[in-house]
Structure 1
């Protein structure tokens, strides 16, 4: 009796999982120290952004003569002349071109993908699984192989160089991932909710609008962030399909590169202005971001 009692704790201890070295270090240091380290790492990664901001607030002559960190000892060198010159040029038009490309693309991708994902998840029709496999297969198709054929097609229909042409290209290549993401999220919705709506006589479109779409807000918001950032920061498609009158910010800033210089007064201020809206969008919907990334991973 005593022997059994004495060996029980030893067996329990032997069966417990052993912590690795990193886990033991975290236990000894405590969560507070770990949080401080993570904050310091985050600030370290923000240093390039801070440098970009400082460069955009100084003249070209000062930037060429001194490093950006000297601003802490010479705050009088700060000026907004770079931003004034940038906005007085063609940057304003390119900004609104970027908005005219990004916003319709994001809305179309979300709307079309949400309806298609609902059909793949909860509607029965011939060839559904095979068609979904085709959509998933399109995820591996590189954009580069479609640049020349689509350009030739755009030339025949008369939309080459226009904003609608750029939007259509982004929508076409954004739909496969969007459908895949939303379908995996929608399929996790309890079937009892949809069956209850059908028993009440609700048509499919009503179920989609009143049940599926509200429950899918985390994945839809996350998809919106992904799609918005992809299109907002795109330059390849803009270089191929947008003419100078319809060029977005990325193409405008690229056109400001000098042959024997970097033109930092324009590039730094333009790059920093292009960061503002994506950052506002991300922080506004950050609570949905992780949920959307995990969409469909757990059933």
Structure 2
């Protein structure tokens, strides 16, 4: 059977399934990060994020206070509730208890266990315990090990920890100070260069285009130390100006390549008609080419803004280590995660806080993204 122009392909279902699978692959880690940002640290360590709505079984160790013991019928009695301790979850159901860390759930709730120092211990399912002995417990009361099923806990403590960190407001301002100029400067330079490579005839133009394409594959890490030495030699060293120029240099090859491809695909008749009417190259660029190239400009602005905002390596190299110049990524990595390396809740909350501004920029300019990326693909 012959196919007709405009007819729907029989493999469209495969395309839809592939797109759906890619969307799921991208969304699953993001959803997991979002859920983890609202979970308690202990529950994150005990279960995966997909088990967040379910109760969590955790093991605790509680030290009792011997000063709370009373004498009853010639015996020393110490009672209380294991969930009242700061070392426990605060609520839940005891599923087992023990007197050693090697067997924290050796006995069932309500059973009686012999203490190693003498005496007996009983822990109920609701957390109430009673320890009895013939003699005082000494300076340290008996240690209770137990396993409890705790309800899921939703908390905003992770976000309070990140937003309330000392100097986080200053780090946010520093991030804007770095990101905005590092996005605008390469766009301004690349736009002029792209117009020259697309519409102006001069010797060596082909070599310049080839050099721009070649610079796209140069590893960023290869240029960090030489560039830093150059900055120190010219006197800008580790400063905001130095990191602006660093991001500009790293972003220019992609910017020139993207804008040049877009501008080369603009209708030639418009450019030639403007020149016939006496317009200079500068007038053609500012009044015709630049307004028509806004989709490509927006596409690069999205990429550059996201890259600069989320950058850690370049900021660590080209900015001083003082707290007054730290950006958000450095602040989070050094001051928050540096002392809480295993606190995944803090990391998840910090990730969502830091991506708030890039998301606003992306959704504001995303309609131009595809138009700019597909520039020159159809003639």
TM tier relative to shorter chain: 0.7 to 0.9
Residue 272 (str. 1) matches residue 253 (str. 2): no
- How many residues in Structure 1 have an aligned counterpart in Structure 2? 275
The question of whether the paired residues in 2 share the 8 Å contact of 1:225 and 1:282 is answered with: yes
* CA RMSD after TM alignment: 2.7
In 2: Cα distance, 1:181 partner to 1:73 partner: 49
CA deviation after TM superposition for structure 1 residue 35, in Å: 4.8
Q: Judging by fraction of residues, say which structure has more helix.
A: 1
Task: Please state how far the C-alpha of 1:284 moved relative to its aligned partner.
Answer: 2.2
Match of 2:361 among 260, 264, 281: 281
Counterpart CA distance in 2 for 1:257 and 1:83 is 14
Distance 1:130 1:47, change over 3 A: closer
Counterpart contact for 1:161–1:246, Cα < 8 Å = no
CA distance in 2, matches of 1:36, 1:137: 36
Distance 2:23 2:290 in 1: 35
Aligned counterpart, 2:69: none
Q: Is the 2:53–2:152 contact (alpha carbons within 8 Å) kept by the matching residues of 1?
A: no
Name the larger-Rg structure: 2
Q: Normalising by structure 1, what TM-score? A: 0.81
Relative to structure 1, the CA distance from residue 175 to residue 210 in structure 2 (aligned partners, 3 Å threshold; closer, same or farther) is: same
Choose which of 252, 257, 264 in structure 1 pairs with 2:331. Answer: 252
- Correspondences of 1:28-177 after superposition (within 5 Å): 35=16, 38-39=19-20, 42-43=23-24, 45-73=26-54, 77-89=153-165, 90-177=167-254
CA 64–142 in structure 1, closer or farther in 2 if over 3 Å, else same: closer
Q: Gaps (5+ residues) in structure 1?
A: 1-12, 18-22
Q: Distance in 2 between matches of 1:199 and 1:45?
A: 51
Residues 150 and 190 of structure 1: CA distance in aligned 2, closer, same or farther (over 3 Å)? same
Question: 2:40–2:155: 8 Å Cα contact kept in structure 1?
Answer: yes
Deviation of 1:41 after TM superposition, in Å, equals 5.5
Q: Structure 1 residues 102, 260: CA separation in 2 closer, same or farther (over 3 Å shift)?
A: closer
CA contact (8 A) 1:170 1:231 kept: yes
How far does the alpha carbon of each residue in 1:42-92 deviate from its partner, in whole angstroms, 9 at most, with x for none? 245312212212222233233334433344357972222222221221333
Change in Cα spacing, 1:229 to 1:179, as seen in structure 2 (3 Å) is same
Q: TM-score, normalised by structure 2?
A: 0.65
